[in-house]
Structures are given as C-alpha cells and as structure tokens.
C-alpha cells in the first residue's frame, strides 16, 4: 500500500516552488515512500519508559568560582597612564554640560 503518489510529489514540489522534471517524479516518489516506511518503523518503537531529552549526551557547563584575584602589577599599569588621579586614569572631558 502506497503512502504517497506521484501526484502528491508534484503537489509538494509546486507548493515548495520547486521545478521538478517529470522524469524525476517516479524517483522522488520511491525515495519519499522509503522515508515514510522508515518513519513508520520508528513510530512502532515502544518509548514509554524513555524519558524525553533534547540531546543524546548530557551536557554540563563547567564553571569556575567567580573570585577576585589581585594582581601585583596594578600599580605598574596605573603608573603608565599619562594623567593619573589616585587609583584612576584621568581623561579629558568629552561631553558638554
């Protein structure tokens, strides 16, 4: 018993705006029929005890603790600024009041 006909293939090709040559209709009909048979096999599998999942392998994010790590070069970096004010860089004003 066929699930899909040549007319179905032509209609789907038209809906998808595909230019399907007539000599390929039979080939695609057979291929789509094979795909539908395979889907039928998959639907017959009992999955009642299989939990739903989004991935085949569980993915776990590996993160590190977010902590402040003081550096010994802080003063050296601040001293390289052309204009320093305390623990900050002094920069020219760019916004008008």
**Domain range list for the chain:** 6-43
- What pTM was estimated for this model as a whole? 0.47
- Structure confidence at residue 29 (pLDDT): 94
**What topology is assigned to 6-43 in CATH?**
Histone, subunit A (1.10.20)
- Summarised one tens digit per residue, pLDDT across range 78-92 is 888 888 898 898 888
Longest distance between any two alpha carbons in the chain, whole Å = 85
pLDDT above 90 for 34 = yes
Ramachandran sector of residue 91 (left: φ over 0; alpha: ψ -120 to 50; beta: rest): beta
pLDDT above 80 for 2 = no
- Summarised one tens digit per residue, pLDDT across range 61-75 is 889 888 888 888 988
Contact indicator for 20, 10 with CB cutoff of 8 Å: yes
- Summarised one tens digit per residue, pLDDT across range 5-33 is 999 999 999 999 999 999 999 999 999 99
């Amino acid at each position: 018993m066929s699930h899909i006909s040549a007319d179905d293939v032509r209609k789907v090709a038209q809906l998808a705006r595909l230019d399907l040559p007539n000599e390929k209709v039979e080939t695609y009909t057979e291929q789509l029929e094979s795909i539908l048979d395979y889907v039928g096999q998959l639907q017959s599998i009992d999955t009642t005890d299989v939990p739903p999942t989004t991935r085949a392998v569980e993915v776990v994010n590996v993160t590190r603790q977010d902590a402040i790590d003081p550096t010994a070069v802080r003063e050296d970096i601040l001293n390289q600024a052309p204009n320093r004010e305390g623990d900050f860089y002094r920069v020219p004003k760019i916004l008008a009041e």
